[in-house]
Amino acid sequence: MAGTKKDDLSAVLPEKPLRQKYQRLSELVVEQIISWIMDGTLRAEQRLTTDELAEKLGVSRMPVREALRMLERTGLVQSEPYLGARVAKLTQEDIEEIYMLRQILESTAGRFAAQLIQDDEIAQLEAIQEKMESLIRQDAKENRKEVFHLNREFHQTLYEASRKPRLCEFIGNLWDSIAYYRLISASSQDYAIWMKNEHRSYIAACKKHDGPLLEGLIRQSLQNHIKDLPQNIEKFYRMIEARNQ
């Protein structure tokens, strides 16, 4: 693959100088690389060179090297001796394992969240949901990526109500590690409508402060995902091949 356009970061990445605020520069680099993976700018097996990333982001090589090591720990990036770093390519076994872990962790977070959530946090969930439903009603293809990001914001807000920061961090890493799979496989209007109804049931459980109910809803939702994984993964790889042609 060496020397192909697919491996040329300069050809696929926009100029994106980072402005450091209250985070370490390496954390900002991590966030930007994750964003590029999630929106498809960086694809599976894309070679990641320190020099090119540093140039595009307007930073030195040191925070880029640190960011790639951090991403390797999450499973988003793979490194091999003499070959360098690449965006990880997930196997079916990888995706199945991640969903099984999500089922355990997210249902647990949901139980604590429903019991501890405050009224202002429920209002925040409802505001995210209202914005998402407005976009879904428009049924515009260009809105689906924003719906995807709002879905993550909804779940992140929900799980943070559990007051379990380490648990939320683990869940976030799992979401990041399959971001590209989720973005492509969840980009249909039918999925968006199903997700809308699911979120409503989560909010209702939160209003009742019914931890076991929300735990069961999340567990069942992810069990349905696990059941459908074989056909969805096959569809995912077909769509990847079509995009790369």
Q: Name the 3-class secondary structure at 46.
A: coil
Kindly state the tokens that stand for 238. 């077909």
Chain mean pLDDT for the chain? 86
pLDDT tens track for 10-38: 777 777 666 555 458 998 999 899 888 87
Distance from C-alpha of 225 to C-alpha of 202, rounded to nearest angstrom: 17
pLDDT tens track for 121-150: 999 999 999 999 998 888 777 787 788 889
Q: Are 83 and 94 in contact (CB under 8 A)?
A: no
Checking 126-132 for CB contacts under 8 A at 24+ apart, the result is 126/203, 128/153, 128/154, 128/157, 129/154, 129/196, 129/199, 129/200, 129/203, 132/195, 132/196, 132/199
Query: pTM for the complete prediction?
Result: 0.77
Residue 54: the pLDDT is 95
Distance from C-alpha of 132 to C-alpha of 31, rounded to nearest angstrom: 23
Domains and CATH numbers, the chain: 5-87 (1.10.10.10), 92-244 (1.20.120.530)
